[in-house]
Structure 1
């Protein structure tokens, strides 16, 4: 069998990285919903992942919704069509956006992030009621990547120490910033950025594979 070409290695690298990042987003969305009390604790089940105990939703509607999102995310990641994913928590009573988790997706090419082309936010909303790829591949081991992801999840969990308690019932939206020429599922619609007014922002840890880097920031409204 002939040795793999650099382009083949790069494609395999991107594929593996896209799967890993998609998996991170799935657990990240579940963790935020659990930690921030968007759904009650009894709606979640404990599983082991990244050497940690992670909470995942038992609600069939939420599971189907998250599966739909992550399935589409993986397709866009493979084609380098996504620049960020955002989770917005909104008060049902007031309609105000009270918290916003932003995950910036940087694509590596020749070990440098590639600037994304202009992209727009696409919303999938839910409401429970209603270039030397071989050199790049040697840079970071699976154990190092898992350790970085573990550290980020520990930080997300610890964020409850500084984030205000969410009053009343809340719902959430997921926004995906995809390139303008991306194929978008029919049920997804355009959205504004759903920014939190007068927000405080905290930059959390980043993690990177050999193809992607994920930077994380949470914006929140200070308690009045």
Structure 2
């Protein structure tokens, strides 16, 4: 009788990290943190994505995503926040928050490995498109930002006791938006790899 081998499909953490990579790039593009000319097309998981071309920013994002991938593999990732800040005042003017619940790696047989990997890629593509559309739609209701006066910071929240990376600075929480604030909720994302609940908070424009 032939032995039936089992494999662990460990692509879930990578998909979770890639999801946040292109979420970040889309926010930076749509919110005019960097001009259109600073982006290029990047192919990933059978899709064309907009990615930053600036080498310094790209290296920062790649290092960040590698660490998110490690936390996701250990199911230590809880939340990611992207704060947009005024260069002049150092005030947080917009904050995108993503609550994450990663799922464990799937165990399957040799017969179903290729099929399940294909389904996960299709799942990633579908949910990525859905997120991009949501960011585009919400961008239409958000205040217009001065492209020459905005920078960004990424805050990653993990479970207590998670392994720390020496390159990251520990902080209690991301800065909050001062004054009148509005909120917009994004539709929840549920993939084979993770659940994501998200919303954006932004400073109410003064008229």
The answer to whether TM tops 0.5 is yes
Quick one: structure 1 residues 60 and 145, their matched pair in 2 at CA, closer, same or farther if it must change by over 3 Å?
Answer: closer
Q: Tell me if the contact between 1:86 and 1:102 (Cα under 8 Å) persists in the aligned partners.
A: yes
CA distance in 2, matches of 1:133, 1:199: 45
Change (3 A) 1:49 1:133: closer
Q: For the Cα contact (< 8 Å) 2:138–2:184, is it kept in 1? A: no
**1:17 alignment partner in structure 2:** 12
Q: Does 1:96 align with 2:91?
A: yes
**2:123–2:192 CA contact under 8 A, matched in 1:** no
Matches within 5 A, 1:32-43: 32-43=27-38
Q: 2:138 is paired with a residue of what secondary structure?
A: helix
Gaps of 5+ in 1: 110-131
The answer for the alignment partner of 1:122 in structure 2 is none
Partner of 2:160: 180
Match of 2:68 in 1: 73
Aligned-residue offset at 1:203: 1.0
**Which residues in structure 2 correspond to 1:47-196 (within 5 Å)?**
47=42, 54-108=49-103, 141-142=119-120, 143-167=122-146, 168-191=148-171, 192-196=173-177
Once the two structures are superposed, residues 94-113 of structure 1 have per-residue CA deviations (whole angstroms, 9 ceiling, x without a partner) of 1110111111111347xxxx
1:206 aligns with 2:188: yes
> What residue in structure 2 maps to residue 3 of structure 1?
4
Once the two structures are superposed, residues 47-83 of structure 1 have per-residue CA deviations (whole angstroms, 9 ceiling, x without a partner) of 4567865321110110000001000000000000110
User: In angstroms, what is the RMSD of aligned CA positions?
Assistant: 2.6
Structure 2 segments unaligned to the other structure (5+ residues): none
Find the counterpart in structure 2 of residue 114 from structure 1.
none
Quick check: 1:99–1:196 contact (8 Å CA) kept in 2? yes
Residue number in structure 1 paired with 2:41? 46
- Report how many residues are paired: 194
Task: Give the Cα separation in 1 of the matches to 2:88 and 2:145.
Answer: 12
